[in-house]
């Protein structure tokens, strides 16, 4: 009883979300958990990093959430973090929404890097303790920022319009973007998700903290692929012409082996590959 009365001496009652306060969590999204776009969410989801969620006390039952990304459980210092507030009064259920979320995305197969802005990034009931039926991530992506990632699409068609055409052929038509009015947006959704506690805190990262080297990705990337990446990838453009030609030439030697290797590395399905092949055939 003494503990129950302690808040009466000027202190605030404990937040219902107290079990989350001061902790950080990591969310990994398996390819099989992507449900939108139908059938090809796994193809696009192969580019998506892990997400970090740091929780701090807000006012009353409000919690302060810092969102970042990770690779192999380690925070990505190249990705700017975003801080938002969420209502923790429904513990252990909570919806965390970031109207905008800067996202650095790397295609580890091609070595292409893009810096994009995700819209309406929403995590629903993914923190530990929730037994809700809906435990999901949803987000709106702009293909005009992401099209260089799609190495399944032939280089000559790897534009925002060309990628949207391939996506449409695979059953996932691009929609009008709410912020730009342009027909290049796609909604992604993954379900049955559960974040796990991380031993490392989520460190705030401002744009001024991001090293210049973050515009390039060099892990396992051949020198020909690196050419032009540092100056162009960060702006959402394709690598230099020589790099693209090198990648395409390598792919043309054994396309089937390339597809198999890509699926093995990313766990993606071949819906985009099939749609891209059909689109290329129709263009002949």
pLDDT digits (tens, 9 = 90+) for 76-131: 999 999 999 999 999 999 999 999 999 999 988 888 999 999 999 999 999 999 99
Lowest mean pLDDT among 12-16, 47-51, 89-93, 121-125: 12-16
Asked if the structure places residue 88 within a domain, the reply is: yes
Asked if the structure places residue 61 within a domain, the reply is: yes
Q: Is the pLDDT of residue 21 over 70?
A: yes
Span 215-236, mean pLDDT?
A: 43
Lowest mean pLDDT among 36-40, 101-105, 114-118, 222-226: 222-226
Number of compact structural domains in the chain:
1
Q: Is the pLDDT of residue 239 over 80?
A: no
**Strand runs (DSSP E) across the chain, as ranges?**
24-27, 34-36, 50-57, 62-71, 74-75, 82-87, 95-106, 113-124, 136-142, 185-190, 196-198
- Using a pLDDT cut of 90, give the percent of the chain over it: 57
Taking CB atoms within 8 Å and a gap of at least 24, the contacts of 274-281 are 274/170, 275/166, 275/167, 275/169, 275/170, 276/152, 276/153, 276/154, 276/157, 276/166, 278/169, 279/153, 279/157, 279/162, 279/165, 279/166, 279/169, 280/154, 280/157
Report the chain's mean pLDDT, rounded to a whole number: 79
Q: What is the band of 44 on the pLDDT scale with cuts at 50, 70, 90?
A: confident
Asked if the structure places residue 210 within a domain, the reply is: no
Quote the DSSP letter at residue 150: -
Structural domain of 161: 19-198+229-282
Q: What is the reported pTM?
A: 0.75
Q: Is the pLDDT of residue 14 over 60?
A: yes
Asked if the structure places residue 6 within a domain, the reply is: no
What pLDDT shows up at residue 281?
Answer: 53
What pLDDT shows up at residue 220?
Answer: 38
Q: Is the pLDDT of residue 17 over 70?
A: yes
Segment of 149-153, 186-190, 262-266 carrying the highest mean pLDDT: 186-190
Summarised one tens digit per residue, pLDDT across range 143-175 is: 999 999 998 889 999 999 999 999 999 888 999
Asked if the structure places residue 13 within a domain, the reply is: no
Q: Estimate to the nearest angstrom the gap between the alpha carbon of 89 and the chain centroid.
A: 27
What pLDDT shows up at residue 39?
Answer: 77
What pLDDT shows up at residue 279?
Answer: 56
Asked if the structure places residue 278 within a domain, the reply is: yes
What pLDDT shows up at residue 184?
Answer: 97
What pLDDT shows up at residue 43?
Answer: 76
What pLDDT shows up at residue 12?
Answer: 58
Between residues 248 and 94, which one has the greater pLDDT? 94
Asked if the structure places residue 165 within a domain, the reply is: yes
What pLDDT shows up at residue 226?
Answer: 35
Q: Is the pLDDT of residue 66 over 70?
A: yes
Q: Which two tokens stand for residue 45?
A: 């989801």
Asked if the structure places residue 223 within a domain, the reply is: no
């Amino acid at each position: 009883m003494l503990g129950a009365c302690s808040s009466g001496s000027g202190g605030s009652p404990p937040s219902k979300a107290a079990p989350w306060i001061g902790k950080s969590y990591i969310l990994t999204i398996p390819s099989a958990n992507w449900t939108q776009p139908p059938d090809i969410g796994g193809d696009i989801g192969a580019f998506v990093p892990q997400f970090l969620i740091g929780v701090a006390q807000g006012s009353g039952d409000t919690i302060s959430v810092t969102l970042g990304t990770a690779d192999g459980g380690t925070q990505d210092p190249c990705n700017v973090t975003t801080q938002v507030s969420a209502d923790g009064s429904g513990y252990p259920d909570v919806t965390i929404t970031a109207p905008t979320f800067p996202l650095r995305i790397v295609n580890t197969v091609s070595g292409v890097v893009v810096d994009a802005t995700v819209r309406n990034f929403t995590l629903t009931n993914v923190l530990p303790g929730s037994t809700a039926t809906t435990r999901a991530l949803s987000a709106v992506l702009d293909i005009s920022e992401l099209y260089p990632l799609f190495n399944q699409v032939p280089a000559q068609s790897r534009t925002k319009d060309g990628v949207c055409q391939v996506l449409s052929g695979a059953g996932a038509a691009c929609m009008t973007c709410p912020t730009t009015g342009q027909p290049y947006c796609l909604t992604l959704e993954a379900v049955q998700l559960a974040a796990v506690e991380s031993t490392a805190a989520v460190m705030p990262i401002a744009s001024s903290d991001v090293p210049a080297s973050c515009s390039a990705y060099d892990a396992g990337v051949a020198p020909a692929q690196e050419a032009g990446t540092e100056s162009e990838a960060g702006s959402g453009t394709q690598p230099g012409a020589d790099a693209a030609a090198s990648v395409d030439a390598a792919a043309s030697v054994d396309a089937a082996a390339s597809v198999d290797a890509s699926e093995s590395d990313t766990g993606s399905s071949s819906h985009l590959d099939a749609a891209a092949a059909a689109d290329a055939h129709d263009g002949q």
